Amino acid sequence: MRHFIPAALLALSLYGCSPAPYRLGPDASADFAALTSPLTEGRDYSVEVYDRGSEITVLAPHGGDLERGTSRLARRVAGADWNLYIFNAWLGRGSGRLHLTSANFDDPRALDLAGRSSLAVSLHGQAEKGKWVCVGGANAEAGRLVSEALEKAGFRTQFPCRRLPGRAPKNITNRAAAGGVQLEVSLSLLRELDKGGEYLPKFTLAVRTGLSAALKDIKEKAR
């Protein structure tokens, strides 16, 4: 099942001048149904789902105008072989009200894709200063491997992530069979990655390398 972003909205999300509306207060909605019931899909928000039969799923639950840059980053990390789920908010500066904390993010399409995977990774934006990645999630070994790969590629990380640990069982990234990794990317680094250039392929390769190593370990332990 695939849902495509209207070209005009994609251009606005990538090249618009308004800052990403990170939500600092409590969510306006308790779950996905309440969040989307007054909205129109395809106008106020869009969903991208690519089921590629992979054991790894990449998630961007706060994409589009919400945590700008995470949609594109998720697509690059997923490539053409990993499963991909993206929720894009298209309300411009008003997109902050479409934020749904990861532990409450229960779109059935995301739950289904993550639930049929061995491992998942979610990409988020966080407003802390500097260019760095806070690495959390329930699968500590996978988080460690991703953190090490990012550090080796020249990116600064904090593992385990102290402020945003992402270890809740209901966190969308932890719905995979072996749990998942939550990557909170600082706004400054997200902006650099969104420009493309040398940072984007290095970041993408590092995340994929760490997750691939984690998946290999999971399979070996299951023998």
Domains of the chain: 7-222 (3.40.630.100)
CA 203 – CA 198 distance, rounded (Å): 9
CA distances from 22 to 25, 26, 48, 76, 185 (A): 9, 11, 21, 22, 12
pLDDT band of residue 11 (cuts 50, 70, 90) is very low
Looking at residue 215, its pLDDT comes to 98
Mean pLDDT computed over 203-213: 99
Backbone conformation region of residue 179, classed left if phi is above 0, alpha if psi is from -120 to 50, else beta:
left
| Both structure tokens of 91 | 């309300």
pLDDT over threshold 70, residue 190? yes
pLDDT band of residue 5 (cuts 50, 70, 90) is very low
pLDDT band of residue 25 (cuts 50, 70, 90) is low
Mean pLDDT computed over 13-31: 60
Mean pLDDT computed over 210-216: 99
pLDDT band of residue 22 (cuts 50, 70, 90) is low
CA 76 – CA 84 distance, rounded (Å): 10
Higher pLDDT, 117 or 222: 117
Sequence length of the chain is 223
Structure confidence by residue, pLDDT tens digits, 138-159:
999 999 999 999 999 999 999 9
Mean pLDDT computed over 116-141: 97
Mean pLDDT computed over 148-175: 98
Residue 27 CB burial class (10 angstroms; 0-12, 13-18, ≥19)? middle
Residue percentage of the chain with pLDDT more than 70? 89
pLDDT band of residue 26 (cuts 50, 70, 90) is confident
The pTM score is 0.90
CA 88 – CA 10 distance, rounded (Å): 10
Looking at residue 14, its pLDDT comes to 35
pLDDT band of residue 223 (cuts 50, 70, 90) is confident
